[in-house]
Amino acid sequence: MYIKKWDEVSVLDDQGKLIRTFEVCNVNQNPRLQDNWLATPFLFRFSAPRVFVTLRFSVRDCASLRSPSPSCRETLTLYYKQADSQRELERTWNAEPSSAEKDTREGWVKIDTIAADKSFTKVEPSLPHQYQPDRYRRVNIKTRSFAPLTRNGFVLAIVDSGACVSLMGVSIFYRRCPATNRYLASYPATPSGAEPTALVPVTGTCVPHSQAQGGSASRMHCNAEGEWMVPVGGCICEEGYEPNQNRSACLVTHSLDRNTHPLGMESAGAGAPAVGVAERGQQHAAMLQHLGSAMDRILQTMERWERRGVPPASSPAPPVSPSLTPPSPGPSGIRLALPREYDGTVAGYQGFLLQLELYLATVHPAPSGRESVAALASCLSGKALEWANAVWGEGEAVLDHFEDFDFDQPVFDHPPEECPVGYFKSVLGSVPCSVCPSNSRTSQEGSRVCECRSGFYRAPADVNSSACTSSPSAPTSVSWEYESGDGGVSLRWRPPVDMGGRSEVWYGVVCRICPSATFTAPGACSWCGEAVTFTPSQTGIKQTKVTLNNLLTRVTYLIQVQAVNDVSALSPFPPQFISINFTTSQSVPSLVPSLHQLSRAPDSITLSWPQPDRPNGDILEYQLRYYDKGSDEDSAVSVFSETNTVTVNYLAPGSIYAFQIRARNERGYGPYSHTIYFTTLALEESSKQIQNRLPLLVGSVMGGAAFLLVIVAIVVVFVFRSKRRESPYSDRLQRYISHKGGVKYYVDPSTYEDPSEAVKEFAREIDPSHLKIEEVIGAAQFGEVSRGRYRPLGRREVLVAVKTLRWGVTDREKAVFMTEAGVLGQFDHPNVLKLEGVVTQSPPERIITEFMENGPLDAFLRENEDQFSVLQLVGMVRGVGAGMRYLSERNFVHRDLAARNVLVNSNLVCKVSDFGLSRLMRGLDHNMPTYTASLGSKIPVRWTAPEAFQHRKFSSASDVWSFGVLMWEVMSYGERPYWDMSNQEVMKAVADQYRLPAPNNCPPALHSLMLQCWQAERGDRLGFDSLLSSLDRLIRHPASLKAEHPRSTQPLLSPTPTDLSSVATVSEWLTALRMDRYKDQFERAHLDTLDRVSRLTMEDVQNLGVNLLGHQRKITNAAQQLRTHLTQGQVEV
């Protein structure tokens, strides 16, 4: 046993008995030293894959201490460590653990942190800690289990990290199914499985005198509770044997075979060959032995009858006649039929003995009847021998007892016994009667079915042999909370304490509106009506949660949660329920359902929208925000309107903009609508509209000129493509020719004359009837994005994301839309978004991909800030790196790798997506193929390598640079790279060799990898192979993520404080922060002086309508800086 800082103490319990405990109470020590271990000796597991441990302990309430330490706890932590021998563990305990081992507890597996339900507070100063009177009445008993166990044994450790605790008992055990004989098969003792729901199959061995039924071995299953269940197959008794009452053994039958001797010899009839004296003596002895066994069985039957109260006759009665044919001289074919049941009288038994003697005398004659009686007596025992001597006296002749027998009377004939009260038998055959199952009974003998007791029922699907059950009790512990800001309320509860003896249960919700929060009679409340909706449903709920939507504001609701099962409908009483009431407060407006484009110009767009479905009060104003699709969301600009229309000016011609809108009432802003994209009018389109207004002649001339220009353009494009085409088949061969054997290169769909051919070649056509759209979850450049379900033939249904092409797009837009399918269809990797297929044969066209539940990586990290360990974050980065290595091996350059273009599923698997800027890399240098972007193409500067934004040269090395920025985003939980520096400032800083600093809590080893991705010369950067190897090393050795690395000599950027010396107004302060987009919000909030602004808190900034976390932090930090500046600037007069 290993003990560290625990004390072994002898104390008296409440009954005055001496007990031994382990105690620790070091709550006032340094928190860093609170690591107190108590471990068991090495314990063999005896083939058990799962072990249970029960702790009995008491804990001192931290609040009852005079000066409680911040490190005081009321919990214990359980660990276990597997090993093969005690010696192996001794080496572990004797060796001083390193600091890394102390931090990580390497080799130990955490079972659980156990919190105390009860703690003692009463303290008698005159008594030591262990003798406190209230202590042992506040004992906690907790049971936990751990699995799987694969080695010879284990050690269990109990670790205290700052509690005042007394450990009174530890029970360590495992569950197993006992050895048993069932269904005529033997099953050995078997430990339960490793999982709580595991069923361990065990093959049985047929008991003696039985064989497997149907030729297959019998099986039973051992469940986690140590109970046998789910029998499969069984054994049957061999001929001449029958099962006992509990079907655990095969016993000899009650009757002899009427056609053959028990020894298998044919009867000796007329003309049978003579048998020698020696052989006949052997047959005679064997026959006597077999008959003796039969006699013992009959004696047992007789005694069973006597125990049931059948009194024997007071005087001998005439013997019962056997069914024998009259004896004839010499050997004959006489056979004896043994009775199946004895009638309980001495006379009946005497008659049976006479039949035996007659059988012996006629079939196997002995020299005298005396010898025959003696031979038979030698095979009998106990009372049977006494009664045999009473029937045959000394020297009495055998055949004298048969002079008056009537050989034509039948053998024993007894009617079958009926099942007694409390038993039933529902099937034909020789199976015994069964005891009535739970909660059922019979009122008369011979019942086929047991009737359910009052209040208990059988469901229509239950068999007659099943127990009767009842409705469940009411659910427990119901609670409610706001699900979202649009009027939704979430209800949660716990299952019923009494399940009524059944396993299934589901719930229903009843909703009522009450006149006030102080109502006393539920009858005063009315039904909610159809306006309130329930998610997932109102009835038949299998989970313990439901969400109520479309609730009114400032209204009191009474909610009843009912519990029902399969027999609830049979009960005359209503289901039991638990009630809760709450009053809703005023909510913010709900989502604005849609946006509509009224008109557009090269530099403006006019939009309109309907009022929210639930305004929840008067709408005070609307906030419309927009940004260029090529930019990120942080660059959004807001426009405010008190009406349902607005015109957005100063836009770029022919550009795509993303728009979102939300409404504000007295409570605040509601959620933003889904992102919808609109395009401004191109200059050439505007010119065409002007030309349409000119006279017909001018239009004809311009049309002819336009036609000539088109012809010239086609000729120029054709010549250009002919010159740059290496061969008629070079683009197609790119897919199959590889400098790394077996790797298929990516084919750029834009090299096809008809991009739809690439889609046909690389994407699978999907039957729309196999696709079900559930809801719209967003908007894309050329349409909307929905969540749906796809069920392909022969496969299970899967969740998918469906991009639908909107109506009225141009052929060029359609080609661009389908190009993404031609790109995705060429990839198959667990860290690259998977294409399920396309719909092109019937409008609207659709692209179907796998569904990623957690959405973009950057938004997911911002929503879950500080919720992941460093190891989990490195795992996410590693997944993206694996996907990028796969793409680079196929000469594919992404060009837009960033956290916003990486999607995360429910298992935190990251997948590279959004291939809108992706291109095929070309070049004679196979070690560094490149792609040159055209002038005017958009480049995400913050994620782009210097050679890319300076010379527009993209390669796998430029993707490595972007990967380094993505690593920085992940470790900073989605913070914007380079903060609020402009694109020009970013390019200048990067060109001057400045690099991003390590985010907070970022391991130096990981920041060192980032810096290697940001080498100025692309040839000096690591490849994705090397990056993955480095990340794998970090994951395999988590301690290295904490080791110190030398600081880089590379100059690092940092967000510089704002120069406040020249700031005199709030407007100038916002401009200096580059937050002038929020000037209108500051004006409406009457924040018109720097003194008022300096008092802003994070909550105040949120109430202003600043929703971006980075902007909230920046304004709050700047306000604190401004407060310091104003305080230092005050001069005492």
The per-residue pLDDT for range 1037-1059, each reduced to its tens digit, is 887 887 454 444 456 665 555 66
Query: Among 215, 225, 188, which residue's Cα sits nearest to residue 203?
Result: 188
Report the C-alpha gap between 506 and 497 in whole angstroms: 14
Report the C-alpha gap between 625 and 911 in whole angstroms: 29
Of 871 and 314, the one with more pLDDT:
871
User: By three-state DSSP, how is residue 910 classified?
Assistant: strand
Task: Please give the torsion angle defined by the CA atoms of residues 33, 38, 41 and 45, in that order, rounded to the nearest 10 degrees.
Answer: -110
Query: 67 is written with which tokens?
Result: 């000066």
Is residue 1115 predicted with pLDDT exceeding 90? no
Of 310 and 720, the one with more pLDDT:
720
- Quick check: 849 and 833 in contact, CB under 8 A? yes
User: By three-state DSSP, how is residue 773 classified?
Assistant: strand
Is residue 357 predicted with pLDDT exceeding 80? no
Lowest mean per-residue pLDDT among 593-597, 805-809, 975-979: 805-809
User: By three-state DSSP, how is residue 879 classified?
Assistant: helix
Report the C-alpha gap between 1100 and 433 in whole angstroms: 79
Query: Among 636, 695, 623, which residue's Cα sits nearest to residue 663?
Result: 623
Rg of the chain, C-alpha, whole Å: 45
Please give the C-alpha separations between residue 343 and each of 310, 414, 430, 470, 810, in angstroms, as whole numbers: 8, 8, 20, 45, 102
At 736-777, the pLDDT tens digits run 333 333 455 667 666 666 667 777 778 888 888 888 888 888
Cα four-point dihedral sign 182, 186, 189, 191? negative
Task: Please give the torsion angle defined by the CA atoms of residues 498, 504, 510 and 511, in that order, rounded to the nearest 10 degrees.
Answer: 100
Fill in the amino acid letter for 816: V
- Quick check: 52 and 17 in contact, CB under 8 A? no
Q: Which of 160, 566, 858, 896 is catalytic?
A: 896
By the 10 Å C-beta count (0-12 exposed, 13-18 middle, 19+ buried), 180 is classed as middle
* DSSP run (H or E) holding 581: strand 577-583
Residue 910 confidence (pLDDT): 95
Q: What is the mean pLDDT of residues 231-258?
A: 69
At 104-145, the pLDDT tens digits run 566 789 998 888 888 877 665 555 545 555 555 678 899 999
At 911-966, the pLDDT tens digits run 998 876 554 444 434 444 444 444 445 688 999 999 888 888 888 899 999 999 99
By the 10 Å C-beta count (0-12 exposed, 13-18 middle, 19+ buried), 1009 is classed as buried
Is residue 1003 predicted with pLDDT exceeding 60? yes
Query: Among 224, 218, 260, which residue's Cα sits nearest to residue 239?
Result: 260
User: By three-state DSSP, how is residue 618 classified?
Assistant: coil
Query: Maximum distance among all alpha carbons in the chain?
Result: 153
HSE-CB for 583 with a 13 A CA cutoff = 10
Question: Which neighbouring-strand residues pair with 931?
Answer: 954
Is residue 238 predicted with pLDDT exceeding 70? yes
Strands (DSSP E) found in 436-505: 440-441, 451-452, 476-482, 489-494
Residue 590 confidence (pLDDT): 81
> Which of 543-547, 750-754, 807-811 has the highest mean predicted lDDT (pLDDT)?
543-547
277-307 helix and 346-363 helix, angle to the nearest 10 degrees: 170
Residue 703 confidence (pLDDT): 65
Query: Among 971, 964, 974, 973, which residue's Cα sits nearest to residue 1026?
Result: 964
Is residue 623 predicted with pLDDT exceeding 80? yes
Lowest mean per-residue pLDDT among 171-175, 196-200, 1092-1096: 196-200
Q: Within 10 Å of residue 253's Cβ, how many Cβ atoms?
A: 16
Is residue 269 predicted with pLDDT exceeding 90? no
B/e letters for 724-748, b = 16+ CB within 10 Å, e = fewer, are eeeeeeebeebeeeeeeeeeebbbb
DSSP, res 917: T
* DSSP run (H or E) holding 679: strand 676-679
Report the C-alpha gap between 1130 and 1133 in whole angstroms: 9
Number of continuous H segments (helices) and E segments (strands) in the chain: 23, 55
User: By three-state DSSP, how is residue 992 classified?
Assistant: coil
Is residue 676 predicted with pLDDT exceeding 70? yes
Q: What is the mean pLDDT of residues 27-55?
A: 84
User: By three-state DSSP, how is residue 468 classified?
Assistant: coil
- Quick check: 916 and 803 in contact, CB under 8 A? no
Q: Which residue has the tokens 């880089």?
A: 1048
Fill in the amino acid letter for 318: P
Q: What is the mean pLDDT of residues 677-685?
A: 84
DSSP, res 97: P
356 φ, ψ to 5°? -60, -45
Residue 719 confidence (pLDDT): 56
Structure confidence at residue 876 as a pLDDT band (50, 70, 90): very high
Q: How far apart are the first and last CA of the chain?
A: 74
> Which of 295-304, 557-566, 865-874 has the highest mean predicted lDDT (pLDDT)?
557-566
- Is the backbone of residue 5 left (phi > 0), alpha (psi -120 to 50) or beta? left
Q: Rounded mean pLDDT of the chain?
A: 75
Structure confidence at residue 484 as a pLDDT band (50, 70, 90): low
Is residue 877 predicted with pLDDT exceeding 90? yes
- Quick check: 496 and 476 in contact, CB under 8 A? yes
Residue 865 confidence (pLDDT): 85
User: By three-state DSSP, how is residue 214 classified?
Assistant: helix
177 φ, ψ to 5°? -85, 130
Of 816 and 678, the one with more pLDDT:
678
Report the C-alpha gap between 459 and 571 in whole angstroms: 11
Please give the C-alpha separations between residue 942 and each of 898, 899, 983, in angstroms, as whole numbers: 9, 12, 7
Asked whether the bond before 844 is cis by omega within 30 degrees of 0, the reply is yes
- Quick check: 327 and 398 in contact, CB under 8 A? no
859 φ, ψ to 5°? -65, -40
- pTM metric for this prediction: 0.36
At 840-850, the pLDDT tens digits run 888 888 999 99
> Which of 609-618, 1025-1034, 1063-1072 has the highest mean predicted lDDT (pLDDT)?
1025-1034
HSE-CB for 335 with a 13 A CA cutoff = 15
Structure confidence at residue 517 as a pLDDT band (50, 70, 90): low
Question: Which neighbouring-strand residues pair with 643?
Answer: none
Is 896 marked active-site?
Answer: yes
Is residue 322 predicted with pLDDT exceeding 80? no
Is residue 289 predicted with pLDDT exceeding 80? no
Of 424 and 377, the one with more pLDDT:
424
Residue 226 confidence (pLDDT): 85
Report the C-alpha gap between 362 and 782 in whole angstroms: 107
Report the C-alpha gap between 414 and 1128 in whole angstroms: 116
Report the C-alpha gap between 455 and 88 in whole angstroms: 60
Is residue 585 predicted with pLDDT exceeding 80? no
